[in-house]
Chain A
Amino acid sequence: MTASNPARPSRPRGDAALRAAALTFAVALAACSPSDADATTDGEVQPTGTSAEPPSTAADARLPSVPSIEPVDALSVFAERAEHAPTPPDEARETTLRDLVETAFLPGYATPRLAGLARDELLAEDDATRALEQGLRHDDADVRIQCAWQLGQRADPTALPPLVARLRDEVDRRAQLWICDAMWRLGCDTGLEFLPGYFRYEDTANDAGRSAMERIRHAGLPLSEQPTWEELGAAIVEIHDHWRLTGRPLVGGPEGETPHGGETPTSEALYGRLAKMMLEFPREELRGVDIARAVLRSLGRVGLPLLRTGLRDRGDTVRVRFHTLEIVERLGPAAHDLGPEVLALVDDPICASLALRALGELGYAQALPHLLARLASEDPEIAVAAAAGLGGLRDARAIAPLRTVLDDAERSIDERVWTAASLALLVVPDDDDAPDPGLSFLEHLLETDGYHRPTLEELVDRTKRERRLASSRWRAPAPGPDESDEER
C-alpha cells in the first residue's frame, strides 16, 4: 500500500516545476492585463497569451503571498458588545406581558373592548417589543400574526433577529407572510424571496399582494394602475435581487413613505443581540450556532462589522472564524467588503477550503491568482474549493486552467466534478451545437452513475438555474418558505 492518492500518481518534480512556472506566468499576465480576455464566436471567453496550467506540489511554496490582517480576540469583543443587548424581562414580568398579549390578540380570549384596551396598554409599555417577540412563539398562529404585524410597525430593528429566527421555524403560511412583511418594514428584504409564493394561496394572496405593492412603492419602482400578479412578482424579484447583491434595501419612493429610509439598521442594542448570538460559536452543540448563522446571513450588511471581527479572530478555537466564514459565504456579494479578511484565511489549516469558496461567492476579483494557484493543491479539498471559487468569480481567465484540470484524468473525480461545475458557469454555449464541456461532463457522470448522484443533480440544477438567471431574470413565482426554506 502506498500513501499517495491512487487516482493521481506523483508527477516527476521537474515536470511539476515547469507546470508551476507556466501557471506563475499566466497568473502574472492575468494580474497585469485584465483587458486581455476576448470573447470567441462560440460564446467561450478565452484569455489571450499562454494557456495556463495549474502548478503541482512543488509550486505550493511559491503561492501568491496572502495579505496579513490585524488579529483580534473576537470573543472578548462580542462579550463586550453583548452587554448592550436588550435585557429579557424577568419571569414575573414575562407572565404579565404574556397575559397582555393573549388578552389583546388571542381570538375569543377577551371581549373586543377589553382586547382593544389590552392592546393599547401593551403597546404603550417600554418593553412592548420584547413582549411582541415573545408572542412570536405563542401556540396560536393568530397571536403570532398580530405580534409580527405590530413588530413591523414599531420601527425597532432590534426585533429583526427574533423575526428571522421565527421565520425559520414557522409552519403557518399566514404567519410566515406577516413575518416577511415586518422584516422588510424594519429594513431586511430577505423574506421578499418568499413573498410571490404567497400569491398562490387563497388565504394569503390578498395580504401578500398588498404587502408587495407597498414594498414596491417604497422602492420607487413603477406599477400599472391594475398590476397583475406577474407584475408584482417581477418587481419583488427585482427588489430582492438588489438586496441579495448589495445587502441594502432598495428605496426610492416618495420621501417619508419609506419606513427605514433605506439605511442599514444599526443600533448598539441590535449589535449587542447579534454579538450575543455569535458568542455561541465555540459551543459544542450546534443549535445556538445554527440560529446565529441563520440570522446573520439573513440581515444583509447589518452584521458586517461583527463578521469582520469574527474573521479576524485568531483565538484558540477555529470555530469563531469558521462559522463567521460560513455566514459570509452565504451572504455572497453583499459581504464583498470582507474580501481582504476572507483572503487572509486561505492558508488556515481548517478554514482554507471554505475561504476559497467564499471568495468566489463574494466576487472578490483580487482573489483570482490565489484561487488559480490552489487549483493543483495535493489536498483535493483545497483543489475542489479553488475550482468552486473560480466558478463564483466568473472571470474568463480561469477557463483555460479549469479546462486543463477537467481534462486531466489523473485528477480525482471530486476535483473534476467541481471543476466541471465551475466551467459550466463560465462557458455558456450560444446554441445546442456549441461545446459545453462542463455541463456535458456532469451529465455524462449522471447517466453513467459515475459520481455521487445527489451532488451531481444539485450541480446540474444549479448550472441550469444560474444560466437561466443570467440570460433573463426568472419570473416564475418563488415557493414559500414551507417549500424551500433551506433550514427546514
Chain B
Amino acid sequence: MTLQTSIRLTLAGALIATVVGTSWALTRENDAAEHDPAPAAADAGFVPARFTSSKQCRECHQDVWDEWHGTQHQIAYENPEVRKLSNDFRTKECQACHLPKPVFQTGLAQRTLPRVTRPDEGVGCLSCHEGPDGRIVGRHTVDDAPCTPIAHTEFVTATQCETCHNQHGTTDQWRESPFFGKQDCADCHMPEIDRAGGRKGRSHVMPGGHDLATLKAAGRFELERGDDGAVVTRLTNVGAGHNYPTEERSRALDVLVRFLGDDGRPLAVAGFEHPEIVPEHMRELEDGWLCIYRYRSPYRDEPIPNTQLPSGESLAQTVTPPDGAARVEARLMYRRNPFAPDDHPEVLTIEERTLELR
C-alpha cells in the first residue's frame, strides 16, 4: 500500500464515521421536530419559507395573475421587439430590468441587478413582492394569509419603480413635473380596483406606451390656423407625469401633416425646413405626408438633441400651406421603434385632425 493510498483510506474512514454520526444526529433532530407543534411566525428564530416562482402566488391570486400575465412586465424577457433591439439579450445591459432579481433585495432607488431563472416570468410577482429577507411584502401586513405579507412603507412608490424605470430618466422627469407630490407612478399605471370579496386592490395590467388609451390621455393634439394664415400643430403634455414619450431609443412621437387641393389630391410643400431631429428618410413620406417634428431622445452617442416633451409643456410647429391648398390633415403617430414604417404593427396613430382652409 502506497503512502497516498493509505492517506486516502484514512481520510475516507474518518469521513464515513463523520457522515454516519451526522446523519444519525440529523435524523434524530428531525424526529423530534415532527412531534413539536409548528412554530408561530412571530417566534424568534423563525425562518420564513422562500418563494421561488410567481406560479406559487397564482394558487391564491389567480385574478392578479390573469391581469399580469401577458402584460409588458410578464413578457419583458421574451418580447420579440425587445429581443430584437437587445440582440437577444446579448446586450447584457438590458437584462437587469427585463429579468430582475427582487428589487427589495438589490436595493430601492438603485438600479436592479439581473437574475437567470424563470425567464418566462420577466418582471414577475417576486420582482416587486419579495422582501429583503425573503418574506413577501405588500401594502398591508396580513398575518393570517398563507404568504404572511408584511407592509413596507416604500412598497408601490416611485422609489420602487425607479429601480428599472429611471434607467432612461423617467422617474427623474416625474420629480421635475407638476405631478410630483400629487400623483405618483401607481396612481396612473396601477389604479385602485375592486376585487372579489369586496377587497380593494391595484390593477396589475400596468398600461403604458403599448396602450392606445394611455397614449391618448397623455397628450392634447391641436391643429389650427394662425393669424398669418400658416397652419399650426400643437402638442401639450397634459396627462403624463413624465416626458412624452419617455424612455429612449425605441420611442418616437411624430407629427405628420399633408395638404390637399380641391380635387383631394396631395400638394407638394415647398420651402419647409425640417428640424434636425427628423431623419432624412422620414421627411417626405408617401401620399404627400410630411413629418414636421419628432419627439424623441437620442440613443447612446446619436448626434441628435433630446426633444421629448416634458410634463405640462407645449410645443407648436408651423407650416405655410402651399398655393391651392383646400384642406390640411395632421396625425400624431407613436413609434415603439423609431425606424419602423407607418404600416408596421409597432406604429400607432394616436390622433388625427382635419382643418378646412377655405
Q: With A6-B55, A286-B93, A353-B116 as known contacts, state yes or no: A17 contacts B83, CB within 8 Å.
A: no
**Which listed residue (A2, A350, A379) contacts B146, Cβ 8 A?**
A2
**Contact indicator per residue, chain A 359-394, by CB within 8 Å of chain B (1) or not (0):** 000000000000000000011110011001000000
- CB of A317 within 8 A of CB of B11, answer no
A287 nearest CB neighbor, chain B only? B300
**Chain A binder among B44-52, B203-211, B267-275:** B44-52
Q: Which of A1-40 contact B (CB under 8 A)?
A: 1-7, 12-14, 16-18, 20-22, 24-25, 28-29, 32-33
Chain B positions 115 through 128: 1 when the CB is less than 8 Å from some CB of chain A, otherwise 0: 11111100000000
Residue of B nearest to A383 (CB): B117
Task: Report yes or no: A3 in contact with B11, Cβ–Cβ below 8 A.
Answer: no
Indicate whether A412 sits within 8 Å of B147 (C-beta atoms), given known contacts A4-B49, A25-B12. no
Given A6-B56, A285-B167, A452-B78, A414 contacting B92 (CB threshold 8 A): no
B351 CB contacts on chain A under 8 angstroms: none
Report Cα–Cα, A5/B92, bound state, in Å. 29
Using C-beta atoms within 8 Å of the partner chain, give the interface range for chain A: 35 or more
Q: Is the CB of B30 within 8 A of A12?
A: yes
Check B59 against A25 for contact (C-beta < 8 Å). no
Closest chain B residue to A62, Cβ basis: B22
Smallest CB–CB gap between A353 and chain B, Å?
A: 7
* Contact of B88 with A5 in the complex, beta carbons under 8 Å: no
| A454 pairs with B88, CB closer than 8 A | yes
**Contact: A17 with B15, CB < 8 Å?**
no
Q: A32-B8, A62-B22 are in contact. List 15 more A-B contacts (CB 8 A).
A: A17-B22, A17-B23, A21-B19, A29-B8, A33-B8, A282-B110, A285-B111, A285-B167, A286-B167, A319-B111, A326-B92, A384-B116, A451-B120, A455-B119, A486-B91
Per-residue A-contact encoding for B27-38, CB less than 8 Å = 1, 0 else:
101100100000
Across the interface, A169 reaches (CB within 8 A) one of B30, B50, B300, namely B300
Q: Are the C-beta atoms of A3 and B90 separated by less than 8 Å?
A: no
Least Cβ–Cβ distance between A306 and chain B, in angstroms: 20
A380-B7 CB under 8 A given contacts A18-B23, A454-B83:
no
Assess whether A350 is in contact with B109, with CB atoms less than 8 Å apart.
no
- Contact A486 B15, beta carbon cutoff 8 Å: no
Is there contact, CB below 8 Å, between B87 and A14? no
Evaluate contact between B117 and A380: CB separation under 8 angstroms: yes
Whether the Cβ atoms of B93 and A14 lie closer than 8 Å is no
Asked if B52 contacts A14 (CB within 8 A), the reply is no
Nearest CB in chain A: distance from B10 CB, A: 11
CB atoms of A3 and B50 under 8 A apart: yes
- What are 21 inter-chain pairs, A to B, with CB distance below 8 A? A1-B146, A3-B146, A5-B56, A17-B22, A21-B18, A24-B15, A25-B15, A28-B11, A283-B111, A284-B109, A284-B110, A286-B111, A286-B167, A318-B113, A319-B110, A380-B52, A380-B117, A381-B117, A451-B120, A452-B119, A487-B93
* Partner of A285 from B53, B166, B303 at Cβ < 8 Å: B166
Does B106 lie at the interface of the complex (its beta carbon under 8 Å from any beta carbon of A)?
A: yes
Residue B301 CB within 8 A of the other chain: yes
A14-B26, A319-B110, A486-B92 known; A350+B101 contact, CB < 8 A: yes
> B170 to chain A: closest CB distance in Å?
11
Confirm or deny: B96 has a beta carbon within 8 angstroms of a beta carbon on chain A.
yes
When the two chains form the complex, which single residue of A14, A20, A25 contacts B16, counting CB atoms closer than 8 Å?
A: A25
Q: Which residues of A contact B12 (CB under 8 A)?
A: 25, 28-29
What are the residues of chain A within 8 A of B56 when measuring CB–CB?
1-3, 5-6
Within A431-488, the residues touching B (CB, 8 Å) are: 451-455, 458, 486-488
Give CA–CA (A453, B210) in the complex, Å.
24
Taking the closest CB of chain B, its distance from the CB of A314, in whole angstroms, is 15
Contact A5 B11, beta carbon cutoff 8 Å: no
Contact partners of B59 in chain A: CB under 8 A:
1, 6
- Bound complex: CA A169 to CA B298 (Å): 13
| Chain A residues with CB under 8 A of B93 | 286, 289-290, 293, 487
- Check A322 for interface membership: any CB of B closer than 8 A: yes
Within the complex, the shortest CB–CB distance from A59 to chain B, in Å, comes to 9
- Give CA–CA (A378, B89) in the complex, Å: 27
Within 8 A of B (CB), among A39-71: 58, 62
Q: Take A16-B26, A286-B93 as given contacts and tell me if A378 and B87 are in contact as well, using a CB distance cutoff of 8 Å.
A: no
A349 contacts the other chain (Cβ, under 8 Å)?
A: yes
B-facing residues in A261-312 (Cβ within 8 Å): 282-287, 289-290, 293
Is the C-beta of B107 less than 8 angstroms from some C-beta in chain A?
Answer: yes
Say whether A5 contacts B91, CB under 8 Å. Answer: no
State in angstroms the CA–CA spacing of A385 and B101 once bound together.
14
Smallest Cβ distance from B163 to chain A, in angstroms? 9
Interface contact B19-A25, CB-CB below 8 Å:
yes
Is B320 among interface residues, defined by CB-CB distance under 8 A?
A: no
Cβ-defined partner of A1 (8 Å) among B23, B48, B147, B162: B147
Q: Is the interface of A mostly helix, strand, loop or mixed?
A: helix
B81 to chain A, nearest CB (A): 13
Check: B105 CB closer than 8 A to any chain A CB.
yes
Contact A487 B117 (CB under 8 A): no
Q: Please state if B147 and A17 are interface contacts (CB–CB under 8 Å).
A: no
Q: Mark B51-67, 1 if CB is under 8 A from A, else 0.
A: 11101100110000000
- In-complex Cβ contact of A21 among B22, B33, B89 (8 A): B22
Residue A202 interfacial (CB < 8 Å): no
Q: Identify the closest chain A residue to B90 (Cβ).
A: A486
Cα–Cα distance between A22 and B89 once the two chains are bound (Å): 39
Min Cβ gap A119→B in Å is 25
Top 6 closest A-B pairs, CB basis? A3-B49, A21-B19, A14-B27, A17-B26, A13-B30, A452-B119
**How far is A290 from B92 in the complex, measured between Cα atoms in Å?**
9
Q: Which residues from chain B contact A290 at a C-beta distance below 8 Å?
A: 93
Interface contact B60-A284, CB-CB below 8 Å: no
Task: Tell me if A137 counts as interface (CB < 8 A to partner B).
Answer: yes
Partner of B52, one of A29, A285, A385, A412: A412
Q: Are B146 and A349 in contact (CB under 8 A)?
A: no
A414 touches B19 (CB 8 A): no
| Residue on A nearest B20 in the bound complex, by CB | A21
Is A139 engaged at the interface, CB distance under 8 Å to the other chain?
yes
* Contacting pair A58 B26 (CB below 8 A): yes
Q: Give the distance in Å from the alpha carbon of A447 to the alpha carbon of B96 in the complex.
A: 29
On whether the beta carbons of A137 and B116 are closer than 8 Å, the reply is no
Pairwise interchain contact A414-B118, C-beta atoms closer than 8 A: yes
Quick one: closest A residue to B301, CB to CB?
A: A169
A17 to B22, CA, bound (A): 7
**In the assembled complex, how far is the CB of residue A452 from the closest CB belonging to chain B, in whole angstroms?**
4
Which residues in B have their C-beta under 8 angstroms from that of A62? 22
- Once A285-B167, A380-B117, A486-B87 are accepted as A-B contacts, the answer to whether A137 and B147 lie under 8 Å apart by CB is no
Q: B146–A32 contact, CB under 8 A?
A: no
Q: Which of chain B's residues have a CB closer than 8 A to the CB of A29?
A: 8, 12
Question: Known contacts being A17-B23, A381-B117, A414-B118, is A286 close to B53, with CB within 8 Å?
Answer: no
Interface residues of B in 121-156 (CB under 8 A from A): 146-147
Closest A residue to B168 by beta carbon equals A285
- Tell me which residues across on chain A come within 8 A of B120, comparing CB atoms: 451-452
Q: How far is the CA of A13 from the CA of B23 in the complex (A)?
A: 9
Q: How far is the CB of A356 from chain B (nearest CB, A)?
A: 11
Q: How far is the CA of A184 from the CA of B243 in the complex (A)?
A: 43
The answer to whether A488 and B91 touch across the interface, beta carbons within 8 angstroms, is: yes
In angstroms, how far is the closest chain B Cβ from the Cβ of A260?
28
